Amino acid sequence: MMEMLYPKKYVGSVFELDTEFLKREKINTVIFDIDNTLVPYWIKKPTKELERYFLSLKESGVTVAVLSNSKEERSRVFCEGLDIPYEYRAGKPGTGGLKKLLKRLGASPERSLLAGDQIFTDVWCANKGGLYSVLVKQVSKKDELITAPKRPFEKIVLYFYFRKTGNDGKQDKGQQ
């Protein structure tokens, strides 16, 4: 049961998921959570670094998309100008929104990756959907009120995950 909560990979930031890594893992579709995965929840727009990163993925033929549990405006404003498809109020860890998005993208779960900062939301959703699950270290220590109570439980899962894999998200140890 605990295994369903383990990410396939744990990274310090999304930038570790570069084109070389994606090629090696045969991933052609990358789906991101927004809040605390790409930017803190109060930042409405992607940084210049993120814009360059998305562009590099797209230029290498990778499909980029966003899957967020937040309301429509959050995803729309964030993705504006990026030309990135998004699914909002996704209901993660439920897989309804994810499946809808994959269908829209014409993507297969086996070759898709879902990256997010929450174990009980993003990682669990990715694993249930049969995607490559990536846990991203939260970009800000500040969480929304709805997220904060879940963090102590995540720490417990991470303790066992770390004991099993030795991966603490501080450096790329390759495929786990």
Q: Which residues of this protein are in contact with Mg ion, per CB under 5 A?
A: 33, 35-36, 117
Residues in the chain: 176
Nearer to Mg ion, 109 or 116 (CB): 116
Residue number, 28 or 36, with CB nearest to Mg ion: 36
Q: How far is the CB of 11 from Mg ion (least distance, A)?
A: 14
Least separation in angstroms between residue 139's CB and Mg ion is: 9
| Locus of tokens 């814009």 | 51
* Nearest CB to Mg ion, comparing residues 117 and 154: 117
Min CB(39)–Mg ion separation in Å? 10
**Residue 117: which of 17, 26, 30, 33 has the closest Cα?**
33
Identify which of residues 35 and 154 has a Cβ nearer to Mg ion in the complex: 35
- Between 29 and 121, name the residue whose CB sits nearer to Mg ion: 121
Measured in whole angstroms, the distance separating CA 120 from the mean position of its chain's CA atoms is 12
- Say which amino acid occupies 64: V
Q: How far is the CB of 155 from Mg ion (least distance, A)?
A: 16
CB of 61 to Mg ion, least distance (A): 27
